Amino acid sequence: MIEFRSVTKRFPDGTVAVADFDMVMPSRKITVLVGSSGSGKTTILRMINRMVDPTSGSVEIDGQSVRELEPVRLRRSIGYVMQNSGLLPHRKVVDNIATVPLLRGEKRATARDRALELMDTVGLDRSLADRYPAQLSGGQQQRVGVARGLAVDPNILLMDEPFGAVDPLVRAELQQELLHLQKGLDKTVVFVTHDIDEAFLLGDKVVIFKTGGVVAQVGAPTEILSNPADEFVASFVGADRGKRALHIERTSAGEVVVDGDGRAAGVMVPEAGGGA
């Protein structure tokens, strides 16, 4: 469990990125921080592995303040996946995945074997092991990034817009695989995105930010959609328009569910496994 207690971050230039932030990010769940740029979501993520230290307040992992932990050791115990994968361009795929185990002093052969297993886990062909990152597609690079994040089998996985730079088709595929992986791995995931669809798809708990690190609403996707806290949230999640504002139209052929643009979105069916 990751807990933020009245955390504020003021940068030297006076910008307040995060203001008096309280939050519990539950263990073995995916917490998604979503908001437009400048909402402080990335700053919050970076306070967990001490890439940023709060101006006031505390961040705790399982009851221990991260301030008491040595940053380099702390970072080696937390998986980190970022946009554009952040891979080391001068290391082969397999060495990139093995980076952190090697930093922790693991034997080269063991780390390499484990890296190859992780390539299977994230759906990368082992024949790519000896390529350099620049020789891979964007989607493949992100998979390597995820594999590297998992290499030390961390309890916590931080993901900073990991799928932001890949095309929509590959993104959808990576999102599904992350959900599939999470079922088997049960990591405490903190995921940052500006894409509300991605947030609702992946998040057990979704935190919506306004600018300046102010929380607009926290809850499960269903709670937020069914009961937006205010107009900002309603408009941000698109509950008032487009493909989220659904209504039933009765036609001569029967009932059809139609979205805000008037396009047929589906039909009403009895709940699977339910009914009389």
Partner 1 sequence: MTWLFANGDEVWQLTLSHIALSIAPIVLGFLISIPVGWVANRYRASRGTLLSVSGILYAIPSLPLFFMLPSLLGTTILDPLNVSFGLTIYALALMVRTTADALDSVSTDVTFNATAVGFSALRRFWSVELPLAGPVLLAGLRVVSVSTVSLVTVGSLLGVPSLGFLFIDGYQRYNPPEIIVGIVVTVVIALVFDALIVLAGRALMPWNRGADVSRARRAAARAVSAS
Q: Which is nearer to partner 1, 34 or 98 (CB)?
A: 98
Which has the closest alpha carbon to 118: 137, 136, 98? 98
Helix, strand, or coil (residue 37): coil
Q: Which is nearer to partner 1, 62 or 130 (CB)?
A: 130
Closest separation in Å from C-beta 35 to partner 1? 21
Check binding of 51 to partner 1 (CB under 8 A). Answer: yes
Check binding of 90 to partner 1 (CB under 8 A). Answer: yes
And the tokens for 71? 């940053």
How far CA 210 is from CA of 75, 162, 192, 258, in Å, comes to 28, 21, 14, 30
Check binding of 99 to partner 1 (CB under 8 A). Answer: yes
Burial class (CB in 10 A: 0-12, 13-18, 19+), 270: exposed
Binds partner 1 (CB under 8 A): choice among 2, 34, 39, 75: 75
Q: How many amino acids of this chain bind partner 1 (CB under 8 A)?
A: 24
Binds partner 1 (CB under 8 A): choice among 80, 191, 200, 236: 80
Beta strands in 211-251 (DSSP E): 214-219, 247-251
- DSSP H/E element including 180: helix 168-185
Check binding of 243 to partner 1 (CB under 8 A). Answer: no
Q: Are the CB atoms for 4 and 44 separated by under 8 Å?
A: yes
Binds partner 1 (CB under 8 A): choice among 5, 19, 123, 132: 132
Q: What residues line the site for partner 1 (CB under 8 A)?
A: 46, 49, 51, 72-73, 75-76, 80, 82, 84, 86-91, 99-100, 103-104, 132, 134-135, 148
